[in-house]
Amino acid sequence: MLTITARQMEMFSAYMRRSFEDGSVALLRCNHPGATAAMTDDQLREFVCVGIGRAARRGVRTVGGVRRWLNLMMHLGTEFDEDPRFDAVQAALANNALPVDMRLDEAEALATKWNRPSG
């Protein structure tokens, strides 16, 4: 029987997280070339790490869900989930009567009403 030690699991988790971060950086550069052009890979990786944490606090923990969250951050700003301008988006994300994917669907639909904030 194969046994995986706690240390091996930690290493695997770190590898998987780094792989997710790398993939997310590449996708953000592809999907948002203008917004990411002036950012270094390290800055964009930090953006991804911030997004992972902010998404997790709202119950968004899947690969696809976090990537959708990152796109919302690119469109509305890093702290869109606390910015009073986006209260409708926040209400959609807080609607725990819906599954997370449906909350993200609604948030994305609402987000199309705003242009990316300056600064």
Per-residue pLDDT band for 116 (boundaries 50, 70, 90) equals low
Total count of domains within the chain: 1
Task: Calculate mean pLDDT across residues 46-66.
Answer: 95
Distances (CA, A) of 105 to 13, 75, 101: 28, 14, 6
- Is residue 106 a part of any domain in this protein? yes
Residue 2 lies inside a defined structural domain of this protein: no
Specify if 83 maps to a domain: yes
**pLDDT value at residue 30:** 96
Domain that holds residue 50: 7-111
Number of Cβ within a 10 Å radius of residue 72:
25
Residue 9: phi, psi to the nearest 5? -65, -40
